[in-house]
Amino acid sequence: MFEFKIKNSEEKARVGELTLNKNVINTPCFMPVGTAAAIKAMSTSEVSNLGYNIILANTFHLMLRPGVEVIKKHGNLHNFMQWDGSTITNSCGYQVFSLAKLRRITKEGVHFLSPIDGQKVFLDPKKSIWLQEQFNADIIMQFDECTPYPADKKTAEESLQLSLIWGKESKSSLEKEDSNLFGIVQGGIYDELRDMSLDGLLNIGFDGYAIGGLSVGETSEERNMILDNITHKMPFDKPRYLMGVGKPEDIIEAVKRGIDMFDCVIPTRNARTGYLYTKKGLLKIRNSKYKDDLNPIEDDCECYTCRNYTRSYLKHLDNCKEILGLRLNTIHNLYYYYKLMEDIRSSIANNNFYNFIKKFYKNREV
Amino acid sequence: MFEFKIKNSEEKARVGELTLNKNVINTPCFMPVGTAAAIKAMSTSEVSNLGYNIILANTFHLMLRPGVEVIKKHGNLHNFMQWDGSTITNSCGYQVFSLAKLRRITKEGVHFLSPIDGQKVFLDPKKSIWLQEQFNADIIMQFDECTPYPADKKTAEESLQLSLIWGKESKSSLEKEDSNLFGIVQGGIYDELRDMSLDGLLNIGFDGYAIGGLSVGETSEERNMILDNITHKMPFDKPRYLMGVGKPEDIIEAVKRGIDMFDCVIPTRNARTGYLYTKKGLLKIRNSKYKDDLNPIEDDCECYTCRNYTRSYLKHLDNCKEILGLRLNTIHNLYYYYKLMEDIRSSIANNNFYNFIKKFYKNREV
């Protein structure tokens, strides 16, 4: 079952419900990243206790380690990692672009060497979709080429055309009736190419539409410009997913422009290097001024970490490289992101999103 | 409040209850090691959910990082690390022996350079006890010299005499009326020196007696020989603590010889390198044969890890160096140790300890 309902909109921003099988996901939503079938430093029950019911997993990584056969032997990815919520898997497009060695892209697919053991790997739309269906992902992404940044117009156009061909092949490769496939808009920083890409995808027809090729080095102005042009042309009644974004302010700006779904490694990665989210911005727990600070990371934060531990203790754990520090920091950052999305949703539901945004930026200035 | 009651004995082995303030600890007990005010990879609530209500913390490490002032600012060590159970702190003797650089031992105390920042540090009985009282530890260890192994008889005798002097000074350094101080028997592998050390300690008088200078390289035969000679000479009605021991079989052999308390980093350290405890012995999760093994670590194990995850998933997490792997492995190993102690206790309570031992070794042979 796949159903998307918009419950309220405020200008371009929308609050909605995405029903995936028996799981209802409130949108706009943030999806923590479980690259290798684990959200770094977290257990799945901790992730779920924070409120999350959808995570992203990386087909590229799981294909290489542990391999599809191992996951298949567990039945599916949910069983393998003991995750009761929904799962979206990416198609490898971005990882082939960022991680694969000696890649060679042809119309048929991509040849590359595994960054893990140097083995030759070939991926095409058929294989990417097959893998994702084997994992039993609730949302499957089309196989695409992530256009690099910067890319001249000709390169960006060739790239988006290839992604369109692969999008069509991805759709025709689906073998399960209940698979939910998202198309990916490419086109670099060129509005007319983004339009061309979207038109092509609409002709094919998908269950949802993602914007790819962002969060790859462009400025936030460029990203917002692209969103300003494209989002409202995407089907109103289908979920819109901005891949790989991002910081709290990036998410807010994208929601304002009509995006419903996000994923990003930044809250978990920042946690592990001691950067903690607060209303005022990032707090660097490594700073010596926290050595004997008895306050929680944030005074009114209700997360497990803030309810129990002082900045002083967290700084000590970071200093001693204790695993518990990585855990407590990650819990805080993922709580912050969950609460952020919850506040975004309730403000849109109450037609109060623009006040929320004003307050968000005002807090940053204190 | 400090009260120790023996509930039953079977030959030299005893099952008892140690009441520390409002906390009742069933003995024989194993105390997980929280070197830097954190049990590696674990949260205190996870440790406590496993059943543990006493942990060991390292005065040496905490003195250097975060420093006594920081802990004192939190009130005590319990508050700092959010641990509701009891805490025993060691006196630095062992750490000065194993970690300190350029140490120089005089009758007054030990001069050494901090292994963290090279700063000059001086420790004596007075300072060691003061630190432990500042932490508000429920059990405090006397300052001692950990006699190295091997040590000739003359060295071992000089060393134990120094520890006796320091033991006396440790006792007279106590400032809090409700502090519970344990003396430490030294004497290397020489029975008559162990006797001499114990006699000296008994003249001073302590709340409990520990055996130190073991788990430093001696064979298990040597260790058991020392225990055979000394344990029954230690006061029957006081807790006996074998410091830094050990493997499951070491613990069983020591309980058989009348020991009540243990601490060791081995279950948590082994967990982080993928060595997992089972009835049959250690399982090395890194072994390629577990790649697609759908069984839990141990079939009838009731721990969180075994109830939820396959060997295959744990091997995958280890392979990908996922933090969750360290966590799940540690939960299993600490559960194994808790269950081991519980089984030891109930078998002694039922005068069935020797059957338990037989079964333990028989399982190993399968």
Scanning B307-326 for CB atoms below 8 A from A yields: 308-310, 312-313, 315-317, 319-320, 322-326
B-chain residues near A74 (CB < 8 A): 294, 310, 312-313
Would you say A125 and A109 are in contact if contact means Cβ atoms under 8 Å apart? yes
Picking from B322, B328, B331 by the largest number of A CB atoms within 10 A of its own CB, the best residue to mutate is B322
CA dihedral sign, ordered B62, B63, B67, B72:
positive
Distance, CA of A267 to CA of A282 (rounded, Å): 11
Residue in B279, B220, B213 with CA at minimum distance from that of residue B250: B220
Are residues B70 and A319, on separate chains, in Cβ contact within 8 Å?
A: no
Picking from A63, A320, A321 by the largest number of B CB atoms within 10 A of its own CB, the best residue to mutate is A320
Amino acid A342: pLDDT? 98
* Long-range interactions of B203-206: CB distance < 8 A, separation 24+: B204/B164, B204/B167, B204/B168, B204/B171, B205/B171, B206/B142, B206/B167, B206/B171, B206/B181, B206/B182, B206/B238
pLDDT digits (tens, 9 = 90+) for A282-309: 999 999 999 999 999 999 999 999 999 9
Interface confidence (ipTM) of the complex: 0.97
Distance, CA of B262 to CA of B194 (rounded, Å): 19
Helix (H, G, I), strand (E, B) or coil at A305: helix
Are residues A327 and B324, on separate chains, in Cβ contact within 8 Å?
A: no
The 3-state secondary structure of A112-148 reads EECCCCCCEEEECHHHHHHHHHHHCCCEEECCCCCCC
Distance, CA of A326 to CA of A163 (rounded, Å): 38
Range in A107-111, B162-166, B265-269 the model is least confident about: A107-111
pLDDT of B177 over the 90 cut: yes
Distance, CA of A318 to CA of A274 (rounded, Å): 7
Phi/psi at B277 (nearest 5 deg)? -80, 135
Selecting from B294, B310, B319 the residue whose C-beta is nearest the C-beta of A65 gives: B319
Smallest Cα distance from B177 to chain A, Å: 28
Selecting from A40, A309, A320 the residue whose C-beta is nearest the C-beta of B82 gives: A309
Amino acid B98: pLDDT? 81
pLDDT digits (tens, 9 = 90+) for B65-117: 999 999 999 999 999 999 999 999 998 888 877 877 778 999 999 999 988 88
Smallest Cα distance from B182 to chain A, Å: 28
Place of tokens 């650089």: B101
Compute how many other C-beta atoms are within 10 angstroms of the C-beta atom of residue B365.
7
Amino acid A357: pLDDT? 98
Are residues A313 and B40, on separate chains, in Cβ contact within 8 Å?
A: no
- Spatial strand order of the sheet with A101-105 comes to A101-105, A110-113, A120-123
A-chain residues near B81 (CB < 8 A): 313
Confidence of residue B228 (pLDDT cuts 50, 70, 90): very high
Beta strands in chain A (DSSP E): 2-10, 13-20, 23-27, 29-31, 33-34, 54-58, 86-90, 101-105, 110-113, 120-123, 139-141, 181-185, 208-211, 240-242, 261-263, 275-278, 281-284
pLDDT of A366 over the 80 cut: no
pLDDT of A356 over the 90 cut: yes
Picking from B33, B43, B74 by the largest number of A CB atoms within 10 A of its own CB, the best residue to mutate is B43
Helix (H, G, I), strand (E, B) or coil at A309: coil
> Could you tell me the pTM of the whole model?
0.97
Amino acid A205: pLDDT? 98
Contacts of A129 (CB under 8 A, 6+ apart): A91, A140, A142, A143, A170, A173, A174, A175, A179, A181
Measured between alpha carbons, how far is residue B305 from residues A215, B327, B330, B346, B363 in Å? 36, 9, 9, 24, 22
The 3-state secondary structure of chain B reads CEEEEEEEEECCEEEEEEEECCEEEEECEEECEECCCCCCCCCHHHHHHCCCCEEEEEHHHHHHCCCHHHHHHCCCHHHHHCCCCEEEEECCHHHHHHCCEEEEECCCCEEEECCCCCCEEEECHHHHHHHHHHHCCCEEECCCCCCCCCCCHHHHHHHHHHHHHHHHHHHHHCCCCCCCEEEEECCCCCHHHHHHHHHHHHHHCCCEEEECCCCCCCCHHHHHHHHHHHHHHCCCCCCEEECCCCCHHHHHHHHHCCCCEEECCHHHHHHHCCEEEECCEEEECCCHHHCCCCCCCCCCCCCHHHHHCCHHHHHHHHHCCCHHHHHHHHHHHHHHHHHHHHHHHHHHHCCCHHHHHHHHHHHHHC
**A334-357 average pLDDT score:** 98
B-chain residues near A80 (CB < 8 A): 310, 312-313, 316
**A39-55 average pLDDT score:** 98
What letter represents residue A111's amino acid?
H
Q: Name the burial class of residue B126, with classes exposed (0-12), middle (13-18) and buried (19+) by CB atoms within 10 angstroms of its CB.
A: middle
B-chain residues near A69 (CB < 8 A): 292
Smallest Cα distance from A306 to chain B, Å: 12
Are residues B65 and A294, on separate chains, in Cβ contact within 8 Å?
A: no
Smallest Cα distance from B40 to chain A, Å: 6
Q: Which residue has the higher pLDDT, A323 or B22?
A: A323
H/E element holding A268? helix A266-272
Measured between alpha carbons, how far is residue A248 from residues A221, A357, B128, B171 in Å? 15, 11, 48, 57
Picking from A288, A323, A334 by the largest number of B CB atoms within 10 A of its own CB, the best residue to mutate is A323
Judged by a CB distance cut-off of 8 A, whether residue A269 touches chain B is no
Are residues B65 and A320, on separate chains, in Cβ contact within 8 Å?
A: yes
b/e string for A190-214 if b means 16 or more Cβ within 10 A?
beebbebbbebbbebebbbbbbbbb
Would you say B227 and B195 are in contact if contact means Cβ atoms under 8 Å apart? no
Smallest Cα distance from A313 to chain B, Å: 6
Residue of B nearest to A306 (CA): B82
Scanning B274-293 for CB atoms below 8 A from A yields: 291-292
Are residues B74 and A294, on separate chains, in Cβ contact within 8 Å?
A: yes
Confidence of residue A261 (pLDDT cuts 50, 70, 90): very high
Distance, CA of A111 to CA of A119 (rounded, Å): 11
Helix (H, G, I), strand (E, B) or coil at A278: strand
**A46-71 average pLDDT score:** 97
Smallest Cα distance from A27 to chain B, Å: 28
- Residue B38 in tokens: 């954190």
Judged by a CB distance cut-off of 8 A, whether residue A49 touches chain B is no
What is the distance between the terminal CA atoms of chain B, rounded to a whole angstrom? 46
- Residue A50 in tokens: 């924070």
Phi/psi at B113 (nearest 5 deg)? -100, 135
Amino acid A222: pLDDT? 96
Picking from A44, A64, A70 by the largest number of B CB atoms within 10 A of its own CB, the best residue to mutate is A70
Selecting from B40, B313, B315 the residue whose C-beta is nearest the C-beta of A322 gives: B40
pLDDT digits (tens, 9 = 90+) for A158-210: 999 999 999 999 999 999 999 999 999 999 999 999 999 999 999 999 999 99
The number of residues in chain A equals 366
Amino acid A94: pLDDT? 81
Distance, CA of A55 to CA of A278 (rounded, Å): 23
Would you say A58 and A89 are in contact if contact means Cβ atoms under 8 Å apart? yes
User: How many beta-carbon pairs under 8 angstroms link A with B?
Assistant: 109
Would you say A235 and A209 are in contact if contact means Cβ atoms under 8 Å apart? yes
- Residue B6 in tokens: 């023996």
- Residue A67 in tokens: 């391999």
Distance, CA of B310 to CA of A15 (rounded, Å): 39
Compute how many other C-beta atoms are within 10 angstroms of the C-beta atom of residue A350.
13
pLDDT digits (tens, 9 = 90+) for A94-133: 887 787 777 889 999 999 998 888 999 999 999 999 999 9
Is the N-terminal amide bond of A246 cis, ω within 30° of 0? Answer: yes
Would you say A200 and A167 are in contact if contact means Cβ atoms under 8 Å apart? yes
Would you say B84 and B78 are in contact if contact means Cβ atoms under 8 Å apart? yes
Selecting from B42, B65, B73 the residue whose C-beta is nearest the C-beta of A292 gives: B73
Smallest Cα distance from A80 to chain B, Å: 6
B-chain residues near A320 (CB < 8 A): 36, 38, 61, 65
Selecting from B74, B292, B322 the residue whose C-beta is nearest the C-beta of A38 gives: B322
pLDDT digits (tens, 9 = 90+) for A208-228: 999 999 999 999 999 999 999
Distance, CA of B18 to CA of A37 (rounded, Å): 44
pLDDT digits (tens, 9 = 90+) for A7-45: 999 999 999 999 998 899 999 999 999 999 999 999 999
A-chain residues near B308 (CB < 8 A): 82
Are residues A43 and B69, on separate chains, in Cβ contact within 8 Å?
A: no
Amino acid A195: pLDDT? 98
Smallest Cα distance from B139 to chain A, Å: 22
Judged by a CB distance cut-off of 8 A, whether residue B65 touches chain A is yes
Residue in A180, A360, A162 with CA at minimum distance from that of residue A280: A360
Judged by a CB distance cut-off of 8 A, whether residue A362 touches chain B is no
Amino acid B101: pLDDT? 74
Are residues A317 and B38, on separate chains, in Cβ contact within 8 Å?
A: yes
Selecting from B292, B308, B309 the residue whose C-beta is nearest the C-beta of A70 gives: B292
